[in-house]
Amino acid sequence: MLKIVPPHGNNKLMPLAIEGKEVLLEIKKSETLTRVTCSSREFGDVIMFGIGGFTPLEGFMNSADWLSVCKNMTLENGTFWPIPITLSTNDEDIKEGQEVAIVYEKTNEVIATMVISEKYIIDKEVECNEVFKTTNTDHPGVAIVLSQGKYNIAGKIRVISDGGFPKKYGDLYMTPSQTRSYFEEKGWSTVAAFQTRNPMHRSHEYLAKIAIEICDGVMIHSTLGELKPGDIPAEVRSKAISSLIENYFVNNTVLQSGYPLDMRYAGPREALLHALFRQNYGCSHLIVGRDHAGVGDYYGPFDSHNIFDEIDTGLITKPLKIDWTFWCNKCGGMSSMKTCPHSHEDRLLLSGSKLRHLLSENEEVPENFSRPEVLEILQNYYAGIKDDAKVKVELKGHSAK
């Protein structure tokens, strides 16, 4: 019998989205409730609650869970959880026991309702130091935490929105129940998730193919939430990945899908969170490469490998820890530090940031860096950006005359 990994901390998924007539009744009720505005990060968290991606959580964390997660990477009851999932507000008048409507700041849409079980103040620097290992506001995750509201509010939520993800992304957007059904249909019991916020270059392709050698299939799982400036939009990324799958992978070995979270850029802790919610999506493994979920030089290149050995997560989903990968001219192909005996001069090191830099500066991309079909899509995207910028400059100059 096919056995897919169970959800984290529970025997079944716990989607918190209500359905049918309940949605209309909840929307109607929300018109009478105090509104709490949520950020993009919190919006993505609400949608993950709705689809069961954050099983076994029932809502935003209270102070005891927040502190335990920061200090111990567990909820107060001992269930493993590596990053706080919280909602903040500056509203002085909100009271415990009050029911509120959660509204996304960018669309003014009510996305959930919540009965507040606790209103509390946190030490934001504690969260930053524990989760991100820094309080430097140049770190995008730190900047978000330090700018959030004075109070955190906790409580069980009822999600009434899909966030517009199915409409915007179509079949690319899949819920945990949908990916699990897909794996069952394909007969995949071992599935490796490949986390990405970038289009896939040759190194990424190599990592995915290593996983396919030892698992039934790979799910290339792209974040569809907000990214930092300079990152490539999900629509372009998806098109490039589809081209790669079509031309360079065996049929029925890869699923491309997306999920609604923003990146937190929390390095090792986020690698753990990525493994946790991939278990909810039905994945038995998470591919963990160099500098997983990192940003800048805040984390060592393999800190996200080491953290899986340093703590007992209780997760069934395990890491596939793969060393630094690159193109080696002497090997005549992709290789890694574990398999290539040659010198640095023979190696072409690949990274998403380097590829973005080359494309944005219209510099030549080495032929072994990215597949030509992928490169063409990305070059067209960057050419479009430059054309748009040129038109804006011309229009600005014309209006000034």
Residues 346 and 212 in one domain: yes
Q: Please determine, for residue 401, whether its predicted confidence score (pLDDT) is greater than 60.
A: no
In DSSP terms, 59 is beta-bridged to 156
**390 lies in some domain:** no
Q: Please determine, for residue 147, whether its predicted confidence score (pLDDT) is greater than 70.
A: yes
For residues 254 and 332, give the distance between their C-alpha atoms in angstroms, rounded to a whole number: 25
Residues 157 and 178 in one domain: no
CB atoms within 10 A of CB 252: 11
Residues 233 and 359 in one domain: yes
> pLDDT band at residue 394, thresholds of 50, 70 and 90?
very low
Section 261-287 average pLDDT = 97
- What pLDDT is attached to residue 388? 57
Section 59-64 average pLDDT = 98
Enclosing domain of residue 158: 21-164
Computed over every residue of the chain, the mean pLDDT equals: 93
> pLDDT band at residue 86, thresholds of 50, 70 and 90?
very high
Residues 341 and 355 in one domain: yes
Identify whether the C-beta of residue 46 lies closer than 8 Å to the C-beta of residue 21.
no
Q: Please determine, for residue 214, whether its predicted confidence score (pLDDT) is greater than 80.
A: yes
Q: Please determine, for residue 398, whether its predicted confidence score (pLDDT) is greater than 80.
A: no
Section 321-330 average pLDDT = 94
- What pLDDT is attached to residue 145? 98
Q: Please determine, for residue 390, whether its predicted confidence score (pLDDT) is greater than 90.
A: no
Residues 65 and 90 in one domain: yes
**301 lies in some domain:** yes
Q: Please determine, for residue 186, whether its predicted confidence score (pLDDT) is greater than 90.
A: yes
Place of tokens 């709490």: 36
CA triplet 167, 172, 175: central angle to 5 degrees? Answer: 85
CB atoms within 10 A of CB 159: 24
User: In terms of pLDDT, which residue wins out, 401 or 346?
Assistant: 346
**84 lies in some domain:** yes
Domain final position from 119, 137, 164: 164
Residues 140 and 258 in one domain: no
CA triplet 36, 51, 89: central angle to 5 degrees? Answer: 15
> pLDDT band at residue 172, thresholds of 50, 70 and 90?
very high
Residues 86 and 129 in one domain: yes
Section 43-58 average pLDDT = 98
Identify whether the C-beta of residue 157 lies closer than 8 Å to the C-beta of residue 59.
yes
Where b means 16+ CB within 10 Å and e means fewer, 69-102 reads bbeebbbeeebbbbbbbbbbbebeeeeeebebbb
What CATH number did the domain enclosing 311 receive? 3.40.50.620
The predicted-structure confidence for 222-246, as pLDDT tens digits, reads as follows 999 887 777 788 999 999 999 999 9
- Least confident range of 33-37, 153-157, 264-268, 346-350: 346-350
> pLDDT band at residue 355, thresholds of 50, 70 and 90?
confident
**391 lies in some domain:** no
Token pair listed for 1: 């019998």
Q: Please determine, for residue 391, whether its predicted confidence score (pLDDT) is greater than 90.
A: no
Section 203-226 average pLDDT = 96
Where b means 16+ CB within 10 Å and e means fewer, 347-369 reads bbebbbeebbebbeeeeebeebb
Residues 290 and 375 in one domain: yes
- What pLDDT is attached to residue 384? 87
Point out the residues that are catalytic.
197-198
Cis omega (within 30 of 0) for bond into 366 = no
Residues 191 and 95 in one domain: no
- What pLDDT is attached to residue 185? 97
The predicted-structure confidence for 282-301, as pLDDT tens digits, reads as follows 999 999 998 999 999 999 99
For residues 356 and 1, give the distance between their C-alpha atoms in angstroms, rounded to a whole number: 45
- What pLDDT is attached to residue 334? 96
pLDDT above 70 as % of the chain? 96
- What pLDDT is attached to residue 231? 79
- What pLDDT is attached to residue 300? 95
Token pair listed for 245: 């799958």
Residues 348 and 213 in one domain: yes
Instruction: Read off the amino acid at residue 397.
Output: G
- What pLDDT is attached to residue 1? 61
Task: Work out whether strand 151-159 and strand 118-120 pair parallel, antiparallel, or are unpaired.
Answer: antiparallel
Judge if pTM exceeds 0.75. yes
Section 120-133 average pLDDT = 98
- What pLDDT is attached to residue 399? 52
Residues 99 and 29 in one domain: yes
Alpha helices, DSSP H only, in 31-82? 40-51, 63-72
Section 310-329 average pLDDT = 95
Domain final position from 164, 197, 219: 164
